[in-house]
Structures are given as structure tokens and as C-alpha cells.
Amino acid sequence: MLKDKKTTKTNDPLRHSSSEASPLRHSSSEASPLRQSNSPRFRQVEAGSEARKETGPIRHFRRQTFSPRTHALSVTSRSVRTEIAKKTAQPSRPAAAAEKGSVRFAALGGMEEIGRNCSFFEYENEIVVIDVGIQFPEEETPGIDYIIPNATYLESKKKNIRAIILTHGHYDHIAAIHYLIEKLGNPVIYTSAFTKAIVKKRHEEFTNAPKLIFETVKPGDKVKFSEHLSAKFFEVGHTIPESLGFVLETPAGNMASCGDFRLETDRSGKPHDLETFEALGKMDIHTLFLDATNAEFPGFTLSERVVEEEIEELIRNAKGRVIIAAFASLVDRLLEIIKIAEKLGRKVALNGRSMIANIDIAKNLGYLKEKHENVIPLQDIHKYKDEKILILTTGSQGESNAGLMRMVNGEHRIVQFKDTDTIIFSSSVIPGNERSIQSLQDNIARQVDEVYNSKLLDIHSSGHARGEDVKLVMKIIAPKFVVPIHSYYYKRKAVIKLAKEVGIEKDRVILMDNGQVASLTKNKFTITDEKVPASYVMVDGLGIGDVEEVVLRDRLNLAKEGMIVIILAIQHSNGRLVKSPDIISRGFIYLKENREIVEEMRKRLRAIIGRIPSYQKIEADYLKTLIREQIGQFVYNQTKRRPMVLPVIIEI
């Protein structure tokens, strides 16, 4: 029998031990309460049924559109997507609420973006939460540190939360736990030893948060969370050690999630170690929740062994220092590079706090079993010849404060570029970072002779399954339903075509959006008309959730149009100006070159004050409104721009 909140170990294909080859090898050495919607929608799919219905608009996080007269933005990309979804939606009819006794599923993030991965399963008074990740800021969220899931619904039912499962140690799956754990009632966190170490290390920065409660699990372990919900864990290949998938056993059936994963392939691109998925294929999986981040790309994922061989060849042929820029989260690759450097007689220095922390964790958990005396402090690189040095650094995305950018700008206190250096970008380009990376590489090329990136050579492989990976997994597991997760809508929609090629009909691939609630029964997957709050929650400095739409609107408008500050000193007794109005411009116009506009603004300000009777008491709010409207309109007529106008009234 399964013991409550205890792990039991079994010998089967889902289990992986240190002495046996993993079915999917991933080691360092080897390859608010629910609200009724005003817009009814219905989507019900029954396995094996020919009559299927699918209607309803795509739901997106919406930003309100404001008039230019109030210094606001036009429709943003998110609201545009919402409007398109409305126009293209099929006619819909109301759906009943979730059936009594059904298992409910909802995503609080990860269905309309890259990041903020968080979802939950609910049966009666039992809830299991899957991942609690962050999303990094967008162009539409200036000044924001992170975006985290909206935990309003879960907070209202925190007494029912039996467990949190963290699939692996990347921030888009774990880093919101520190902000939300108290709201969630501080339940037990089930995860691998490596992920636990990363979470605990980062949690040290949150001195006011409650102490986290962990239960470490390994592939093959089975855990009973509550009376009706239990999980069996299995290992998947990714770019960080001890990444986990799981099968959640529920009254509606077995729900499988591979988390973030890729298939391990050999040098010829042929996948191997498929025993884990073959075992899942024998478990009668009800719904497969499948990583769709790279589903639109054809072929299998590039073998990590090929990447390592290419990097080794570049290091072998380098005449001077080798500086490799990579994500600090690509722990497996970093460990392999350290071993390659040792084999080639090079000392390795780490640059970047997160990279140093991750490698330390890997050492403590035995992933660097040899002595590896070739890892040295960065400040010691001057003790060795250049051809004996390899530097691993963060900053591959052109981040302004990262170590690589400081080297490029000549601001690094230890490392300055030499023309004999070889720079290797062993990373992908995150969408939105194209310009900053291009500029970074241009600046590097002006200072060194050799620069390589993944477009030139096979020196980076994604940790996410490509199209053929996704097809093969669906074919082997043969679930009743498939729910693509962890990506934008168009990427998830690519799974429909892939599923059709392996015999899974379109209506059995369920495209959900954040906040939608699904009802799962033995042979049905129904998206109900219920929703849970899933809007953005912003983390800005020490503030969590206190940055509202109006604040972001003002920040964006300031960046786009600039601002004008108007300072008026007024005599309290008669309401007349004491001195000529002071006008300050920031990000709008250069005042010295636009004296005519400035003088005309002063003239209009004197006229506004002059029309107020001397016996009438100055109403500051009314006067500010007049100034904003009239000066704002004048400036727009002159420049066709709408800067923010900030009047300051000083009564003397």
C-alpha cells in the first residue's frame, strides 16, 4: 500500500538509479472563487466519439485601450490578440459547470507565454499544484522585475492544497514559489534533490518568507498526496540535472506530464532510451500534458553529444583564451565543458553569481565526482598562460549588468578582451533579444578575432522537444487527449498537425488558455465556462502586485512621448503669478532649440491664470486639469506628440 506523503520505490522502467542507465539519460557524464463568464463558451470532447464540438474565443490577458487625450497607449499586442480571437471564434453555446465528481484542471500561466508556468489539479477538497514559475518582463512591462502567477483562487482554497510538484530547477518553473508560498499555505514541495538545492539557495534571500517544507523524490518513486490523488515520477531529458515528469493518478484516470523535456538522440539524430515513454504507453494515459515550446520546428532535437564535440574542437584549436557565454541554467553543458577543459589542459574560471551557485550545487551533489582542480577563482587567471585559460560567463543575451557585457565595455575589474581571445556563444537567442545580441556580437568582433555562435556551428541544443520528438512521444504513449503546454498559442497549435500524423484527431488536442477550467471525467475532457483569475501579478522591487495597469501605462507613455513639468508660483491673496512659469522637458523636446514653443506655452499659461477672478480662491485640482488639457492640446497641434503634462502649483 502507498503511504501518505511518503515515497515507495519500485523496480520498473520509470525508475532510475545511480547504477542503472536511465530510460531517458540525463547525467553529467552521458548521453478568487470561480467566476461565471459573461461570454459563454463550450468545448467538449469524448474519446472515440464522432460527434465533437469546438467553439469559443481564445482568452487572453487584456489591456484596456485609452484615449490619446489622457496620455495613454493605443491597443497593445495582447489586446489585439484578444480582438482577433473574438472575431475568429466559432458560434458558441453555454456549457454546464464541471460535472460533480470530476477532476478539474486549470493553468494560471504558461499557456499564453514563455514562462510563468503554474497549473493545478483539483478533486473535491484535494488540490495538487504543478510548478510555480516566473515570467521575465516584456516590452509592455517596463521597470518590472518579474511577472508571477495570480494565486487568488488557490489562496482561497489553500487548506485544500496537498502538494506542490516542481518538475525541474529552471526559474520559469520554480522562482515564484518564494513570493507565493505563504499564500498557498506552505504545503509540502515534492521535487528532486537538485531542484530542492536551487530553491533553498534562492530562498535564503527571502528572510521574511516561511521555511519551505520539502520531500525529495526520485524517478520511480510513488507518492500518495491525499485520498484520491497520487503520483509516480520519472526522469526526462532536459538541460538541467534531475528533471522530472510524473503520472498523476486521479479518479478520472492517469494524467501524465513530461514537464520540459527533449528526447536524447545519438550523433546521427536517432532517438534512444525510449523505455520510459513505452512504460507510459502501458498505463492507459487519459491526458498527456506536452511541452510545445519547440513543437513548430521540424526534426529531432540536436544531440548534446554533437554540441560537446563541436565545442571541444573549438577549444582545441583556440590559440589564446576561450570565453564561453551560456545560460547559467544549462548546468549539464557547463559540467561537460569543465570536463572537456580538463582533458585539454585548461583551467576554468566562472564569471556570474548564478553560474557559480549552480556549479557549487552540482559539486555538492556529486555531479563533479573527480577532483577537477582545473576550476579556479576568476582572479587567478593571470597566474596562467592565455592558452591554458577557459572562462565560463553569463550574459549571452546582452544583459547590461551581466559579466560578458562588462568585459565588452571594458568595465570588468579582472577580464579585458584580447585580440587572441576566442568567444563562443553556446546559447539560443531568446525572442526579443535579437538587437541586443547583435550589438553585443558586433562590439566583440571589433575587439577579438574569433567569434562563434549557434548559427555558424552546432554549439547549442535546446532543452525542448522539436516536432519529431513530440510526434514520437504521442505515438508511443497514445493518450486519449493531449494538452500542449508551456508556450504561446501558435506554438501549441502546431501540435494539432503533429498529432494528426500519428492518428490523434484534432478534437482530442485541447488548446486551453490561462484561467480556463477543464472538467475531466473517465472519457471526457470538457472546457467549462468557469474561469479562475490568471492576470499578471507584477513584482517591482519590494512590491508584489502593487503595480497596476495605470502605472504601466504611464511608464510606457513616458518612454514613448516624454513629459513636461510646469511649475507655477501663485500669490495666495489674489491668485496672480509671482514669476514667469517654469517649464521642464524630459524626453520630449530640447528647450533651447524650441524657444518659440516654450514662450507660447508661457503665454497660454498666463492667459489661463488671468481668466480666474482675483477674488476667487484657487482650486488647484481644477487649475491643473485646465493646464493639462489646454497645454496638452497646444503641444499636440505643434508636434503631433502627446507628452505627459505635470502641473505643479505653489501658493505663496
* CA–CA distance, 652 with 650 (Å, rounded to integer): 6
Residue of 131, 221, 273, 291 marked catalytic = 291
Bridge partners of 53, per DSSP, are: 44
Annotated active-site residue 464? The verdict is: yes
CA distances from 32 to 132, 151, 372, 429, 532 (A): 17, 8, 52, 37, 7
Q: Cβ neighbours of residue 271 under 8 Å, at least 6 residues apart? A: 263, 264, 265, 300, 469, 472
Are 61 and 536 within 8 A, CB to CB? yes
Are 244 and 192 within 8 A, CB to CB? yes
Annotated active-site residue 291? The verdict is: yes
Collapsing DSSP to helix, strand or coil, 199 comes out as helix
* CA–CA distance, 39 with 609 (Å, rounded to integer): 50
Q: What is the CA radius of gyration of the chain?
A: 29
* CA–CA distance, 282 with 508 (Å, rounded to integer): 19
Question: Which triple of cell numbers denotes residue 286?
Answer: 487519459
Q: Where are the beta strands (DSSP E) in 293-417?
A: 322-325, 347-351, 375-376, 389-393
CA distances from 215 to 6, 202, 260, 271, 524 (A): 8, 18, 21, 32, 33
- Residue for grid cell 549539464: 332
Are 150 and 536 within 8 A, CB to CB? yes
Amino acid letter for position 489:
Y
Collapsing DSSP to helix, strand or coil, 387 comes out as helix
Are 262 and 243 within 8 A, CB to CB? no
Phi/psi at 20 (nearest 5 deg)?
A: -115, 155
Residue of 16, 168, 238, 464 marked catalytic = 464
The residues assigned a catalytic role are: 291, 464
